[in-house]
Amino acid sequence: MTTEDPPPIRRLADWDPAGLRDLAETYDTPLYVLDQGRVRENVANLQTAFHDEHVSYAVKANTVRRTLETVEDAGLDAECASAGEVQRAVDAGFSTVRYTAVNPPSEDLDHVVALHEAHPEIDLVVTIGAADTLDALAERDYAGPLAIRVNPGVGAGHHAKVTTGDAPKFGVPYDRVPDLADEIVERGYDLVGLHAHAGSGIHGEDDLAAHRELVARMGDLARDLDHDLDFLNVGGGLGVPYHPEQDPLDLDAVAEATRDAAGDLDAQLGIEPGRYVVADAGVLLTTVNTVKPTPETTVVGVDAGMTTLLRPAMYDAYHEIRSLADDADDRDEVTAMVAGPICETADVLGRDRRLPRPECRDVFAIGNAGAYGYEMASTYNSRPRPAVVSLDGTGETSVAVERETLSDLTRLEGQQ
C-alpha cells in the first residue's frame, strides 16, 4: 500500500452527520445513500491488491443502475446470477459478463441465449453448475463459451446461510468435473474456465484458511484437466468489518495468499467480490418514530425495518447504528433495542446498543448498508421500498431509485 491509496475502509463515523441529516430532510426516510466516490475507491483498492488478477463485480450486492455504471467505468467486469442481472449489467454498459447459472429457470436461459445471439459484441460466458444445464443450453442452440462451477467441498462465510463451497446446491461435485469437461468439449463447446465460490463474508483466520484450501484445490483441478482454460475464478466473499472494532481485511495479504495457493497456472486467476465493492459506500438513514422505555430495554422504533434492511433478521448480522442528532454528544447514553415497523419479532436492527438518549424525529444512520441492503428489500407488510440517493463523488446528489408508493404496491393487481 502507498500513501496515495484510498483508506481500506470507510467507517460510519467518517460520514458527515450534518450532510446525512440534510439528505434525510430533503429526501425523507428510510433512505439509502450510496457514495459512488467510495465505490471507486474500493475498486481501486481491489485493483491495486489483485494487480495481476481479473476482478469482476458480483452485481447481486447492489444492482442500482448508477452503481453498475460506476463499477463498469472503474474497470471491473460483471458476474451475474440471473437473466435479470445479466440484462441490467448489459444495460449499464458492461461488455464482459459472466452468467453463473444457479439452477436456472427456463426463462432465464431463453433470455440469456437470445441476448447472446443479439449481442455478439458482448463477451458472455455461461457458467454451469449442473450437467443438465448443458443439455438445456444445447436445446436452445447456445453456441457461446462455457465454464464449470465446481463444488470444491470447502466453504466459508459469516453465517451458515451464506456458506456455499460445501453446499450441494452449488456446483458440480469436484470429482465429476473432469468427465463433464470432456463432455463439454466433445459436444463442440468452448470450455473457457472453472469457477468456485467459498461463501460470503470471509474474514478471520478460519475463513482465510478455507479460502486458501479452496484455491489450492481449484488450482490442482485446473492443472489436472486435459483442456486448456482461459480462466480460473475463485469467487467472491471478501469480508468487510461491520463492527467498529473489527479490522479491515489485509487485501494485499489475501491477494498474495490467493496467488500462492493457486500455484502455477496457464489460466488467468480471477475473483468476483460483491460486498467489498459497495458495503461501506452505503448508509441507511432512518427516523425515530417511537421511544418506549420497558423493564428490559429502551425500544426505539424507527421507520426502517427488516423490509428495508433484511440482514439483521436473516443472518443476525451486526450493523453499526449512530444517532445523527446535532446535540448527540450532550445527551446521556441509554441501552436500546432499535426495532422496525414490521409486525414480526425478528424485525430488530440492533440490540443492546449504547445510544445518545433517543428522541422522536431523531435521524439514525446505519452503516455498511451498501451491500445486500436495498437489494434484499421487500414490500412485506405492504411497506413501499425506500428511495436510494447517489452521491456522485464530486458533491452532486441525485435520486438513483425513487421511493415506492402505495399505488406501486397494487399496480400488478390491475383494476379489480
Hey, which residues are catalytic here?
A: 343
Please say which residue, 144 or 201, places its beta carbon nearer to ligand LLP: 201
C-alpha cell at 147: 465454464
Q: Where are the beta strands (DSSP E) in 198-332?
A: 231-233, 268-271, 282-293, 298-302, 321-323
Please say which residue, 111 or 311, places its beta carbon nearer to ligand LLP: 311
Strands 397-401 and 31-35: unpaired
Please say which residue, 283 or 336, places its beta carbon nearer to ligand LLP: 283
Phi-psi region of 381 (alpha: psi -120 to 50; beta: other; left: phi over 0): left
Please say which residue, 163 or 286, places its beta carbon nearer to ligand LLP: 163
- In Å, how far from its chain's centre is CA 244? 20
Contact 85, 60 (CB under 8 A): yes
- Please give the residue ranges that form the binding site for ligand LLP (CB under 6 A): 58, 60-61, 79, 100, 162, 164, 197, 200-201, 235-238, 272-276, 311, 315, 372
Please state the closest distance from residue 317 (CB atom) to ligand LLP, in A.
7
Burial of 416 (0-12, 13-18, 19+ CB in 10 A): exposed
H or E element at residue 67: helix 65-74
Contact 39, 74 (CB under 8 A): yes
C-alpha cell at 162: 451464506
Please say which residue, 51 or 161, places its beta carbon nearer to ligand LLP: 161
Please state the closest distance from residue 272 (CB atom) to ligand LLP, in A.
5
Please say which residue, 369 or 387, places its beta carbon nearer to ligand LLP: 369
Contacts 24+ apart (CB under 8 A), 378-385: 378/307, 378/310, 379/307, 379/404, 379/409, 380/306, 380/307, 380/342, 381/307, 381/341, 381/342, 381/343, 382/406, 382/409, 383/305, 383/307, 383/308, 383/341, 383/342, 384/408, 384/409, 385/307, 385/308
Q: What residues form DSSP beta bridges with 260?
A: none
